[in-house]
Amino acid sequence: MNLHQFRFVQEAVRRDLNLTETAKALHTSQPGISKGILELEEELGVDIFARHGKRLRRITEPGQLVLQSVEIIMREVANLRRIGEEFSKQDAGTLSIATTHSQARYVLPEPVAQLRRRFPKVQLVMHQGTPGDVARMLADDVAEIGLATEALADVPGLVTLPCYEWQHVLVVPAHHPLASVDRPTLEQVAAEPLITYHPTFSGRSRIDAAFAKARIKPNVTLEAIDADVIKTYVRLGMGVGLVAEMAVRDDPPGGDLAWRPVGHLFGPNTLRVAFKRGAYLRHFVFAFAELLSERLTRALIERAMAERPGSHPTSYEL
Amino acid sequence: MNLHQFRFVQEAVRRDLNLTETAKALHTSQPGISKGILELEEELGVDIFARHGKRLRRITEPGQLVLQSVEIIMREVANLRRIGEEFSKQDAGTLSIATTHSQARYVLPEPVAQLRRRFPKVQLVMHQGTPGDVARMLADDVAEIGLATEALADVPGLVTLPCYEWQHVLVVPAHHPLASVDRPTLEQVAAEPLITYHPTFSGRSRIDAAFAKARIKPNVTLEAIDADVIKTYVRLGMGVGLVAEMAVRDDPPGGDLAWRPVGHLFGPNTLRVAFKRGAYLRHFVFAFAELLSERLTRALIERAMAERPGSHPTSYEL
DNA sequence: TATCCTTACGGAATTCGTAAGCATG
DNA sequence: CATGCTTACGAATTCCGTAAGGATA
């Protein structure tokens, strides 16, 4: 039994039981992977994978249990490295952030700049993706802290905390009739060609839900993954845009675009920060979280991380 | 980083930072231990142990954190082995029980016999010791299930459940005046030379507490760790005995000893069963627990094991 | 036939023991 | 000076790569 074998099993599962892929991912030879897994199975006296001839088909029942233990072990190995970093290199290390475009573009610049000022020796790495990608990057130890509006709250193995609430805004060309309507209605919005986020992003599900509930079928002309693209096409007159308020917060008024908050139509959205359960968080990770939102404190995060997996969030949700 | 190094660190801590002892315990050379720990410290970039010259003095602050992760890793490695046993050898394996003399002598024979009948291929190992020893054996993975009346409830890292309640009985020679007293008083008991358990055992603390509360100083002539010894000296007329009720339950009445329940003097005691938190329990471990007490079920134990460390026990206490 | 896992094999690196060195109490 | 950790070194083992073999879809 050794850590290499554990890593092989873990990565093989992540690569859909394809050992060739696993070998590439781990920068080693494929026979080595095969041998390692075989040896572990031999030592435990149990098949971790069910094989069809020479091909790996699925994870066996004991394999599931083995995998659980392996995941815990690899998590703690990652923690050991972080502990080493935390204490050896004072205020230095690498912080990997997983996030969506919206946050990376409109929310993170400020806290990131502050963190760089306070911890100049911390190397920041940003990973961009869908909210689902964010969750996966945390689970796979690719990122240490994740930020997204959706899909994080209910992922097992993650600890999430609310960061702040935001609402959608309707973006129209400056001289569009809707620019002068204070509280646009769903019907008014639906009458226009719509440009908004791709379904996997930034509260798009809220938009769909609101229209569905009112039994209105909006005419979505274009789906983008970021607000810059949406605004560009609104400028071109292709329709009206629905974006997160962060995307227009810093735009000067009186430009070629106007916007109206439409939280009353699509409800509030919550940006959440997420960590992998059981992760050892270095002090600059806490510091970064505190920079993200007034609502986040080290004590609060530590309490949330200690919470029992099954139990439901309590006070810190308020 | 490898599992050997983790084992070295763990064992070194258990052996009070004496690497020579550690090497003996792990059946390897002392320089090997030294090298392994040094390499791990080198790789993590952190001192786990603070040294005075060449002698290990204490655990450093990062060392504490490292130790926590190491303990989790070693626990999961133990679990992996158990998972292997569970699925490879059907209904076979080794079950280590840590317990006190009282339970081993009077309580376990019946459930052990039943377990042997149901799982003939399970090898049973019994480890006897004080309640404190029982707790330690669980923590050190020497035993998988522990039984004791005291000292288990508040040990961090252990999950305990109540098994059943018992009371003390007063044991006297058959023709002793107290043999015919229905509810002896503390004063009556204290008037005789007392023979009872050693302070670390079987509810002795309850006895001391009751006398202390009544401001009576009993005359304890002899302290034994088991009821057989106590009964032997009562027969010799050296005094009256206080033992757990289990110790006389199977004695035929009309012999040379008589006894009276004295729960009204010393209160009820609770026998508890304990497991190491996070341990993987094989099915015959659950089966054994269920044989121990009607109150224990697999579902109940699983719920208790999943409970958050900090939170206090709930329904299954009742 | 293309993909993919297992077995075979040999050079290189690692491991682990003994022996020696050196610091503490 | 007795105990106890670290360093040195060499034999044995393990590791890990390439090449070949065999099974599936």
CB B56 within 7 Å, strand D:
yes
In sequence order, the 6+-apart residues with CB closer than 8 A to the CB of A312 are none
Nearest protein residue by Cα to C1' of nucleotide D19: A31
Each residue's pLDDT tens digit, B9-58 = 999 999 999 999 999 999 999 999 999 999 999 999 999 999 988 889 89
Q: Give the tokens for residue B180.
A: 């015919």
Q: What's the CA gap between A196 and B103, in Å, rounded?
A: 70
Is the Cβ pair B88, A306 closer than 8 Å?
no
CATH class of A90-162+270-315: alpha beta
As annotated, the residues of chain A forming the CATH 1.10.10.10 domain(s) are 3-73
Is residue B313's pLDDT more than 80?
A: no
**CA–CA min distance A75, chain B (Å):** 9
The whole-chain average pLDDT of chain B stands at 89
User: What is residue B53's predicted lDDT score, i.e. its pLDDT?
Assistant: 81
Q: What's the CA gap between A234 and A250, in Å, rounded?
A: 17
Q: How many contacts, defined by CB atoms under 8 Å, are there between A and B?
A: 94
Each residue's pLDDT tens digit, B147-174 = 998 777 678 889 999 998 999 999 999 9
Strands of the sheet containing B257-261, edge to edge, are: B219-224, B193-197, B240-244, B168-173, B257-261
**CA–CA min distance A113, chain B (Å):** 28
User: What is residue A156's predicted lDDT score, i.e. its pLDDT?
Assistant: 86
The CATH classification of domain A168-267, taken from the options 3.20.20.70, 3.40.50.970, 2.50.20.10, 3.40.190.10: 3.40.190.10
Structure-model confidence comparison of residues A23 and B229, the more confident one: A23
Q: What's the CA gap between A195 and A280, in Å, rounded?
A: 41
Closest CA to A34 of A48, A46, A45: A48
Q: Which chain A residue has its CA at the smallest distance from B71's CA?
A: A76
Residue B202: pLDDT band (50, 70, 90) is low
Residue B69: pLDDT band (50, 70, 90) is very high
Residue B308: pLDDT band (50, 70, 90) is low
Nearest by CB: A77 against B1, B307, B308: B1
Residue B194: pLDDT band (50, 70, 90) is very high
Nucleotides of D under 7 A from a protein CB: 3-8, 15-25
Closest CA to A62 of B89, B299, B303: B89
Closest CA to A199 of A220, A180, A214, A182: A220
User: What is residue B315's predicted lDDT score, i.e. its pLDDT?
Assistant: 38
The structure's pTM equals: 0.80
As annotated, the residues of chain A forming the CATH 3.40.190.10 domain(s) are 90-162+270-315, 168-267
H or E stretch at A172: strand A168-173
CATH class of A3-73: mainly alpha
User: What is residue B292's predicted lDDT score, i.e. its pLDDT?
Assistant: 93
Q: Along the 318 residues of chain A, how does pLDDT read in single tens digits?
A: 999 999 999 999 999 999 999 999 999 999 999 999 999 999 999 999 999 888 898 999 999 999 999 999 999 999 999 999 999 887 888 899 999 888 888 899 899 989 999 998 998 988 988 888 999 999 999 999 999 987 776 788 899 999 989 999 999 999 999 998 999 999 999 999 999 998 887 678 889 999 999 999 999 988 988 888 889 889 988 899 999 999 998 888 888 999 999 999 999 999 999 999 999 999 999 999 999 999 999 999 998 988 766 444 443 443
Q: What's the CA gap between B186 and B262, in Å, rounded?
A: 9
User: What is residue A316's predicted lDDT score, i.e. its pLDDT?
Assistant: 43
Inter-residue contact A88 to B45 (CB < 8 Å): yes
CA angle B193, B195, B201 (to 5 degrees): 145
Nearest protein residue by Cα to C1' of nucleotide C18: B29
Is residue B237's pLDDT more than 50?
A: yes
Q: What's the CA gap between A217 and A198, in Å, rounded?
A: 16
**CA–CA min distance B289, chain A (Å):** 22
Is the Cβ pair B83, A89 closer than 8 Å?
no
Each residue's pLDDT tens digit, B130-143 = 888 999 999 999 99
Residue B309: pLDDT band (50, 70, 90) is low
Any idea of the CA torsion for B17, B20, B22, B26, to the nearest 10 degrees? 170
From chain A, pick out residues whose CB is under 8 angstroms from the CB of B86. Answer: 62
**Rama region for B307: left / alpha / beta (φ>0; ψ in -120 to 50; rest):** beta
In sequence order, the 6+-apart residues with CB closer than 8 A to the CB of B230 are B171, B195, B196, B197, B222, B224, B241, B242, B243, B247
Q: Which of A83, A89, A307, A308 to mutate to test the interface with B (most CBs of B within 10 A)?
A: A83
Q: What's the CA gap between B258 and B179, in Å, rounded?
A: 6
